[in-house]
Structure 1
Amino acid sequence: MTNPSDLVCDFVNTYDVETDTDSIPSPAALTAWLGRRDLIGPADAAGDDDVGLAVELRESLRAALRHNHDRDQEAGPPRSFAELPLRVSLTAAGPVLEPVATGVPGGLARIAAAVMSVHADGMWPRLKVCTESTCQWAFVDSSKNRSRSWCSMKVCGNRTKTRAYRARRQTETDSRRL
């Protein structure tokens, strides 16, 4: 199975803000996505309610990841797991959140369990979404001081810095005209 941090980011990135493209817009697409990650069995199939729950989970995760840019205001995992079939089990390594169902609800519960695993491992504050408003791509901040803001400096960082530069130049030009 995929690294829990990667699974959470991959799930959040099923919606591409920049292109307004959703990788899980239908029950068939959600089934395929979960199946490719071995989160459900080959005979499992999603319904419309499952797609709604998946989108709600994804967007609550995206909102929670936005808070991880402010180190003084780190948000914990979202609290929107109430509809997912989860339980806490006590293991030798400590408490673990695990799915108690199979099928698509169990697959979505595995994503929620991955979120809690990331949090328990202390990696939650490193999961972020790009601060570029047109992007919002989820990523793991691997910088030493946890200060990374963009998914890519070459693309989103450059866009942001170029806009700021142009705005400063425009202000300078406007002030000279006065």
Structure 2
Amino acid sequence: MPDALANLYDFANTLDLRHFTHHGVQHQQADALQNPAALGEWMHQHGLIHRAAVPSRKTFEAALRLRAAIRAYLKCDPAERHRKPAVTALLGAAMEPFALRVAVGGKDGFALRPVMSDAQAGLSAIVAELYDAASAGTLARLKMCAADECQRVFFDRSKPGTRRWCQSTLCGNREKTRTYRERHRHDPTSEI
């Protein structure tokens, strides 16, 4: 995972919807952002705020909307993302509370910086990562696993950028096996 996308990637994956069995162990779904205190602790651990403060209920709810909108956006095929007005409108509305300003400085001479200095600033930094990744062209490589029982966000390092699953040996294999079985279940010649 490129450092420039690390917080965005981790934030999107605070909701773990995996519900499959692997090597006899059932994966348990989890949400790392159960309440405002958990959000504050998560942001502190990721260096997005300096001390573990408890965000307001309003900021917490805005964070959950932001996460849901990011996940919905990343679930779309990268070539189709800008063609999904409902998804882009949802993301635009979810980013609205997290104001950013252009600051002189940074690696390229300019950088987006949070306007606020509270817990919203940490979430604004995630929005800035989203913008920077879109500008750099790396956002197209951040995707959601196509397996319904996984839905984990991953970074596609394949040369053509066409991966569909977070792990082809796990999620990809399950999907291919399921498709094969479905195809042969309805094919009367497959039993010969």
Q: TM-score scaled by structure 1?
A: 0.87
What is the aligned partner in structure 2 of residue 15 from structure 1?
15
> Aligned ranges for residues 119-134 of structure 1 at < 5 Å?
119-134=134-149
Please give the alpha-carbon distance, in whole angstroms, between the structure 1 residues aligned to 2:111 and 2:73. 21
Secondary structure of the 1:96 match is strand
Structure 2 counterpart of 1:75, from 82, 101, 106: 82
Aligned length: 174
Can you give the 5+ residue segments of structure 1 that lack an aligned partner in the other structure? none
Structure 2 counterpart of 1:88, from 102, 108, 129: 102
Please give the alpha-carbon distance, in whole angstroms, between the structure 2 residues aligned to 1:42 and 1:6. 20
Matched, 1:50 2:59: yes
What is the aligned partner in structure 1 of residue 21 from structure 2?
none
The CA deviation at 1:20 is 3.4
CA RMSD of aligned residues (A): 2.4
Secondary structure of the 2:154 match is strand
Q: Residues 132-169 of structure 1, C-alpha deviation per residue, up to 9 Å, x if partnerless?
A: 11211111111111110001112111110111011011
What is the aligned partner in structure 2 of residue 63 from structure 1?
72
Structure 2 counterpart of 1:30, from 15, 31, 39: 39
Change (3 A) 1:124 1:70: closer
Please give the alpha-carbon distance, in whole angstroms, between the structure 2 residues aligned to 1:63 and 1:39. 23
The CA deviation at 1:63 is 1.0
Percent sequence identity is 32
What is the aligned partner in structure 2 of residue 4 from structure 1?
4
The CA deviation at 1:70 is 4.7
Matched, 1:99 2:121: no
Matched letter for residue 6 of structure 1:
A
Matched letter for residue 96 of structure 2:
A
Please give the alpha-carbon distance, in whole angstroms, between the structure 2 residues aligned to 1:156 and 1:61. 21
Structure of greater relative contact order (alpha carbons < 8 Å, 6+ residues apart): 1
